[in-house]
Structure 1
Amino acid sequence: MAKVLVIGVAGEDGLYLADLDAGTIAKIPAPTKGALASADQLRASGVVITKGVNLAVTAQSTASVSGGFMDG
């Protein structure tokens, strides 16, 4: 299983690193070179990039997730 995820939210600047073992999420500096920088540039232009993730959904709050956000 993956131990960390890099997350970018549509319409928002910046990337975040989620450490699943530690249970933390932190903003990371903008990548300036390499594959992550290329992916971030594509993402900024509207491209959706996924690798190794089979569910990702945005919600307005944690309450909406636990309150049946995906029901029905």
Structure 2
Amino acid sequence: MARVVVISIEGEDDLWVADLDSRTVQPLAAPKSGGLQTVADLRATGAVVTKGVNVAVVVKSTEAALSGHYDG
């Protein structure tokens, strides 16, 4: 099973790739074609696109997440 996630935060333009196995997060260049470009285009209109993710929340800091807090 792939353990790589493409993520972005509402209100920001950047896309990121999180590789869970290598424990890295890197910026992703804006896609020029394909399915990921379609997703990026939808996101730009305000749509929320999820597939294969069952939890995604924004927290103020790593410390908040580690202590079990998030803005819900």
TM-score (norm 1): 0.89
Residue 17 of structure 1 deviates from its aligned partner by 0.5
In structure 1, what residue type is equivalent to 2:62?
T
Partner of 2:13: 13
Alpha-carbon separation, structure 2, partners of 1:4 and 1:23: 10
Query: How many residue pairs are counted as aligned between the two chains?
Result: 70
Which segments of 5 or more consecutive residues in structure 1 lack a partner in the other structure?
A: none
- Cα root mean square deviation, aligned: 1.1
Residue 67 of structure 1 deviates from its aligned partner by 2.3
Partner of 1:45: 45
Residue 24 of structure 1 deviates from its aligned partner by 0.2
Task: Point out 4+ residue stretches in structure 1 off by more than 2 angstroms.
Answer: none
Q: How many percent identity over aligned positions? A: 47
TM-score (norm 2): 0.89
- 2:57 corresponds to 1:57: yes
Alpha-carbon separation, structure 1, partners of 2:68 and 2:29: 34
